[in-house]
């Protein structure tokens, strides 16, 4: 493939090259790279390796997607996935979760004498969401409850960051001070001030790499709650519908809720009933 007048100022990513990369990423992990993000994708790839023209870009794509080259493919995925999150994001949803959904779960737990809850933070990025959920669950249900959170992502770098539980001081700005004192300990991160999630939080979260496009997920439980917020916007319509159906299949019947991001407009999901704040409840099959 030769360079053309369609290439960017950097002279290496023609439209044809970008579409090739787009197909590779969508096939491997379901993410749809929008054409308007071509220059952003180029910038991220250039951080990892020195590419001087389009032929080299395609050769690199061929290399990292070659069967058996799992490390190269992970490098590609790490560079093109978007990692943007914060603690206590979308508070209206979290307030509804804490004030309405958790009390009902707590009541059922008392009735059945089974104080257990399973939650999946799907697309957990650098971990702010699962740690937020762990704090809410502990505050609402108490330490006597068996609380387990599966926190998954496809990005290896994000999972490493999440599992460390380390955050700079400015990253913890949205955590209420009383919860920050209770659930995080101050630490030095290089020369900067930071905080680390205490064992009380970290022991309740299982960080795991999951590719939503895999034929089977390494999951052997049904969840009361699945959070997958601001993730499906990066999938095309067909992949989105398939993923939402799979989430529904992993929810407890009549007792499971799926939380999507406030901007993720979904008309309906089979077997799920839509409530306010873009929350969906599993209905009887």
Residues belonging to the active site? 44, 153
Distance CA 209, CA 103 (A): 31
- Burial pattern 61-93, b for ≥16 Cβ within 10 A else e, equals beebbeeeeeeebbbbbbbbbbeebbbbbbeeb
Closest to 126 in 3D by CA, of 25, 207, 45, 219: 207
Give, rounded to a whole angstrom, the gap between the first and last alpha carbons of the chain. 52
Number of Cβ atoms within 10 Å of the Cβ of 8: 15
For residue 188, CA distances in Å to 82, 127, 194, 195 come to: 27, 19, 6, 8
- Please answer whether residues 271 and 281 qualify as being in contact, where contact means their C-beta atoms are separated by less than 8 angstroms: no
Distance CA 197, CA 35 (A): 38
Backbone angles phi and psi of 276, in degrees to 5: -70, 165
Distance CA 104, CA 109 (A): 9
Torsion of CA 44, 49, 54, 58, to 10 degrees: -90
- Please answer whether residues 215 and 246 qualify as being in contact, where contact means their C-beta atoms are separated by less than 8 angstroms: no
Q: In which element (H, E) is residue 182 found?
A: helix 177-183
């Amino acid at each position: 493939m030769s360079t053309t007048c369609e290439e960017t100022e950097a002279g290496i990513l023609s439209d044809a090259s970008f579409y090739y990369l787009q197909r590779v990423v969508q096939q491997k992990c379901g993410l749809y790279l929008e054409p308007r993000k071509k220059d952003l994708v180029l910038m991220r790839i250039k951080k990892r390796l020195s590419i001087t023209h389009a032929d080299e870009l395609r050769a690199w794509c061929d290399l990292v997607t070659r069967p058996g080259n799992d490390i190269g493919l992970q490098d590609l995925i790490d560079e093109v996935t978007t990692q943007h999150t914060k603690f206590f994001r979308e508070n209206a949803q979290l307030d509804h979760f804490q004030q309405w959904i958790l009390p009902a779960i707590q009541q059922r737990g008392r009735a059945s004498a089974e104080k257990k809850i399973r939650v999946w933070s799907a697309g957990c990025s650098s971990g702010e969401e699962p740690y937020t959920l762990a704090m809410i669950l502990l505050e609402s249900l108490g330490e006597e409850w068996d609380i387990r959170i599966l926190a998954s992502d496809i990005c290896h770098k994000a999972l490493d960051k999440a599992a460390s539980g380390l955050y700079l001081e400015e990253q913890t700005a949205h955590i209420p001070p009383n919860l920050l004192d209770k659930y995080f300990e101050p630490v030095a991160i290089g020369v900067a001030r930071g905080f680390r999630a205490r064992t009380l939080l970290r022991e309740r979260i299982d960080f795991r790499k999951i590719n939503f496009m895999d034929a089977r997920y390494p999951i052997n439980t049904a969840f009361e709650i699945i959070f997958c917020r601001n993730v499906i916007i990066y999938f095309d319509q067909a992949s989105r519908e398939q993923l939402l159906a799979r989430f529904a299949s992993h929810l407890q019947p009549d007792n499971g809720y799926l939380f999507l991001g406030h901007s993720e407009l979904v008309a309906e999901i089979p077997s799920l009933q839509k409530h306010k704040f873009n929350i969906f409840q599993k209905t009887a099959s």
